[in-house]
Amino acid sequence: LFADDPNVFVAGDLLWYPVEAVEAVEGVAKSQAPDVMVVFGRPKGDRRSYKQFQEEGIAPQVVFEILSKSNTEAEMLAKFKFYERYGVEEYYLYDPALNLLKGWLQQNKQLISIGNMEGWISPKLGCRFETTGGSLEVYRPDGQRMETYVETSKRAEQESQRAQQEAQRAEQESQRAEQEAQRAEQEAQARRDAIPRLLGLGLSVEQVAAALGLSVEEVNQNF
């Protein structure tokens, strides 16, 4: 979605440290690793972690969490408190087992529940969320549905296979062209080798040239 925007940083499962350890807030975790976070105003690039205090103090504005069986209620509450405390503007929580999407918006330093999420359009991302198809579907601002991870992987695999097939076809064409060139050279050499023999039989240069499909100059050059 933001692949061409150099000032939007998107990461998955990356530890986010909002403040240095000495400034940590009691009762709030020192770090969290959102399943997906989007940071507007920060450049792309590899990071071992997102240290907000080294990123001009800019917090991720949008955060996504995907529930799994291993997530506990206490863990998710800690995440919520962390995101609320450190300024996340939009927080989305999706439960694939129930196909349930929840969302919160920051208002007056609090994350307030959005309520009905069906057809909701993210203010920051411009994306629309739908769950009526039995799973979460995300639509780009232009209305196109975003591919799932499985769909993206499958398409990448198909493109890789097509590229390999094209490379194989190109290699085969190159081999055929080389074989044709070799055959042509062999035929030309056979005609040149026949020149002395035909001249030895008493044929004139002109007759040999006509018989072998060569010019008189070529015959003269090869005997």
Long-range contacts of 128-131 (CB under 8 A, 24+ apart): 129/92, 129/101, 129/103, 131/99, 131/100, 131/101
Which tokens hold the place of 120? 């909701």
pLDDT at 177 over 80: yes
Helix axes 205-212, 149-200, angle to 10 degrees: 150
pLDDT at 169 over 80: yes
d(CA 192, CA 186): 10
* pTM, 2 dp: 0.68
pLDDT by residue (tens digit) across 146-158?
A: 877 667 777 777 7
Mean pLDDT across the chain: 91
Residues in Cβ contact with 161 at an 8 Å cutoff, skipping those fewer than 6 apart: none
Domains of the chain with CATH codes: 8-146 (3.90.1570), 152-221 (no CATH)
Q: Which residues of 126-149 are buried (b: 16+ CB within 10 A; e: fewer)?
A: eebbbbeeeebebbeeeeeeeeee
Residues in Cβ contact with 214 at an 8 Å cutoff, skipping those fewer than 6 apart: 191, 195, 208
d(CA 112, CA 84): 9
Strands (E), the chain: 8-11, 16-17, 36-40, 50-51, 62-66, 90-95, 100-107, 110-113, 128-130, 137-139
pLDDT by residue (tens digit) across 20-76?
A: 875 667 778 899 999 999 999 999 999 999 999 999 999 999 999 999 999 999 999
For 91, the 3-state DSSP assignment is strand
